[in-house]
Structure 1
């Protein structure tokens, strides 16, 4: 019997101060063992933090039995929502056959590579990793080896993982002095800081100028095709493709978020731009730790283990890469994504959500703009949708942080300050309940 079924009726969504003694003990144990009582780099405010208990579809429950509608969805990994039956069955079946064989060939990995590659336009070869961060790290290494150059250009406000080469100007509190970045973390050596250049997203002329000025040292340009939640301006991505090709610089498209989310072909098909390399994570693992680097054969073949004696060999390995459970979960997810009409329904659900939320904000005169395209959404307290990261900085960030906290209190789980996702298992009832919760949040916020 589930947590919800033991009650006379399902509880209303939201925390509303309901914290059980059991969950309080979980908090105390976590605080003793884990830095900040957290598993990673994010922590919720004290009055809304919780411990996950279980998830189903587009909702989850905490240890105290409180219910939430989930728009974080494992940071976007769960396009099918929580505990999808097809994914559960695939993982259970593979677990009976074996859970891990190290980074040697296994049947699910070979089968999954064969199914994925036709969907990814740039994919002449594919190499599995265990995360999106690992994917971007190895893509940069491959690019440096292939070109013999050391620098990589990224865009202000873009997230490309947790490694040193990516943690510059991801979420700076002050604007970057292009092309010099602002470190996001302590512990990055000065010599590494100088290897990552930064440009403003959606400013093609600025990017072209930086590429041209650094062409002899620049190995690659890495770009999120939709940067966090900011859509590219018409011609921006193709302009990057043209500029990198002109100067012999590789283009890396970071599809960790957009891959399989904007169609089976991801952003490459959605925007009709083909990079030299693309990186993947999140959806392709079906909720388990699987990532990938895909791209040109001449670049990826540098990681061929039979060439270890060659000076140009690129080491790329990991104990868990090509993990059979993750590949089984990914294949089960892909089978659902390949169902006719899947993306039409997913996009339509997100369109209805954005439109309904804007109506709620307008009704309460909150001064918020809801934006996004496809199955991602966000809102800012500003007068227009952002085009660059600096537009985000200029919005009312304090008001956003306070409102996001109120949303969690009301049972709408969002990652404060960043973009949100829609799952295929969100229902019309979920949308209706979401609009009601936003209405309550607006009333509470204004009161």
Structure 2
């Protein structure tokens, strides 16, 4: 697949013409719905990730997929979609990226799991540390929650403290210390969640107040340096770094999303602020399962064999060093050295944001539909007639897009998104606007939205929400 090539400052593309025959009839989902019903019988929630659940899509329009290539995916009904979100932001090079597939195939042909380290572990570790200059050591695992929890355990051991200050950002771990602070806290004792404190991103005083209220009590500050919707305010990250230094607290950056999407070296390389520890995953394997904990040598060695202190059970997993994930990671690093995937993602995102803004303006819906965020991590916004964010209108927009071959809860791009993919997406957006306007004019989505609105993935009740 050829990455989107039109630079951000080029003449704007012609917007798509109204063509109701572009895809023929609207998509059908009979086989996907049958497969989804069966999944609910076999798998709690019908999916292995809450964000992938059918409740995150319009009723009866949650495709069950069979394959992907580049920025396109196909479902069991034979429908083809331009996909966004790209494996919950885990795929930046595109599905079935040839060099990654080749590297993994060659590696697994030599065996996947052994009783001793392999040379691949040494090579992958060196690749990682060459890529992330603020880190001295790295340890690989398989998912983000494992490495974030390991980072917290390490910080607590190093400081002798129990509290963790967490930015008010969406997600850090499925483990009790974080998930117990969300709406899905069943089964988690308060004695655990009481140790997790919250502060406001981009509000240095809110963090300063936590330190003042808990002197010598905070082991770690946990945060994303930036998010899809918020860049760090001038001086904020530097201020967090100073506060952590003043109080002897470990600063941990979560690079799950920003790593290989903001830059190959993560957000820390973009903003020039060094964390003590950082946690990586998602795009580092282009969809293959691999994660990493990296950081200062004096901290990381507490989990090793070269320390006189009480040892930390840092990470010890059977599948952490299996060869497929490590080979995928090394191929990703090579791709970022040889090409510029971040620039390609940002070009496609910039084109898309521009086009959506123009279409919404032409339809008189600029106050209701738009995009926000970094071009490589774009999300769309949906608002009601009063300009308030609306899950009901979001579901309506999802419904109209998926029926026209655009799949995603966001507009998060990959380097595989071509000009043609963006043009098709803009056509689908244009075709979705009349239904959106009709709902606004009648005062709600009833009769236009076929089913219930989507609800937050992390919520206390499983019951579907209905429009008021």
Sort the TM-score into its range (normalised by shorter chain): 0.7 to 0.9
The answer on 1:92 being equivalent to 2:83 is: no
Specify the alignment match of 2:153 in structure 1.
141
Specify the alignment match of 1:297 in structure 2.
297
Counterpart selection for 1:398 from 392, 395, 398? 392
The answer on 1:379 being equivalent to 2:373 is: no
Specify the alignment match of 1:237 in structure 2.
237
The answer on 1:32 being equivalent to 2:41 is: yes
Whether the aligned pair in 2 keeps the contact of 1:224 and 1:255 (CA below 8 Å) is yes
Q: 1:305 to 1:402 in 2, by over 3 A?
A: farther
Q: Counterparts in 2 of 1:407-418, with a 5 A limit?
A: 407-415=401-409
Q: 1:14 to 1:291 in 2, by over 3 A?
A: farther
Q: Give the drift of 1:409.
A: 2.8
Structure 1: stretches of 5+ with no match in the other structure:
1-10, 169-180, 384-391
In 1: Cα distance, 2:330 partner to 2:24 partner: 34
Whether the aligned pair in 1 keeps the contact of 2:65 and 2:73 (CA below 8 Å) is yes
The answer on 1:108 being equivalent to 2:115 is: no
Specify the alignment match of 2:62 in structure 1.
49
How many residues are matched?
410
1:210-263 residue CA offsets vs partner (Å, 9 max, x unmatched): 123223110010111123532222222111111111111111000011112112
Q: Give the drift of 1:271.
A: 0.9
1:81-132 residue CA offsets vs partner (Å, 9 max, x unmatched): 1111111111111111012226x41222221111111221321110111111
Specify the alignment match of 2:430 in structure 1.
439
Specify the alignment match of 2:132 in structure 1.
120
Q: Secondary structure at the match of 1:69?
A: strand
Q: Give the drift of 1:150.
A: 0.6
Ranges of 4+ aligned residues in structure 1 off by more than 4 Å: 11-15
In 2: Cα distance, 1:413 partner to 1:183 partner: 27
Specify the alignment match of 1:311 in structure 2.
310
Whether the aligned pair in 2 keeps the contact of 1:369 and 1:382 (CA below 8 Å) is no
Specify the alignment match of 2:18 in structure 1.
none
In 2: Cα distance, 1:316 partner to 1:365 partner: 54
Q: Give the drift of 1:397.
A: 3.6
Whether the aligned pair in 2 keeps the contact of 1:268 and 1:274 (CA below 8 Å) is yes
Specify the alignment match of 2:220 in structure 1.
220
The answer on 1:421 being equivalent to 2:421 is: no
1:165-191 residue CA offsets vs partner (Å, 9 max, x unmatched): 1225xxxxxxxxxxxx55443222111
In 2: Cα distance, 1:15 partner to 1:167 partner: 43
1:142-169 residue CA offsets vs partner (Å, 9 max, x unmatched): 111111101111122331121111225x
In 2: Cα distance, 1:380 partner to 1:235 partner: 28
- The structure whose RCO (Cα within 8 Å, separation 6+) is larger is 2
Q: Secondary structure at the match of 2:48?
A: coil
Q: 1:225 to 1:85 in 2, by over 3 A?
A: same
Q: 1:425 to 1:340 in 2, by over 3 A?
A: closer
Q: 1:150 to 1:14 in 2, by over 3 A?
A: farther
Whether the aligned pair in 2 keeps the contact of 1:212 and 1:247 (CA below 8 Å) is no
1:260-287 residue CA offsets vs partner (Å, 9 max, x unmatched): 2112221011111110000000011231
Q: Secondary structure at the match of 1:110?
A: helix
Q: Give the drift of 1:374.
A: 4.1
* TM-score under structure 2 length normalisation: 0.82
- 218-227 or 426-435, larger mean C-alpha shift: 218-227
- 294-303 or 359-368, larger mean C-alpha shift: 359-368
Specify the alignment match of 2:95 in structure 1.
82
The answer on 1:329 being equivalent to 2:324 is: no
Q: 1:39 to 1:158 in 2, by over 3 A?
A: closer
- 42-51 or 237-246, larger mean C-alpha shift: 42-51
Whether the aligned pair in 2 keeps the contact of 1:13 and 1:67 (CA below 8 Å) is no
RMSD: 2.3
Q: 1:129 to 1:341 in 2, by over 3 A?
A: closer
In 2: Cα distance, 1:30 partner to 1:260 partner: 32
Q: Give the drift of 1:13.
A: 6.2
- 233-242 or 268-277, larger mean C-alpha shift: 233-242
1:54-96 residue CA offsets vs partner (Å, 9 max, x unmatched): 1000010001101111111111111011111111111111111
Q: Secondary structure at the match of 2:109?
A: helix
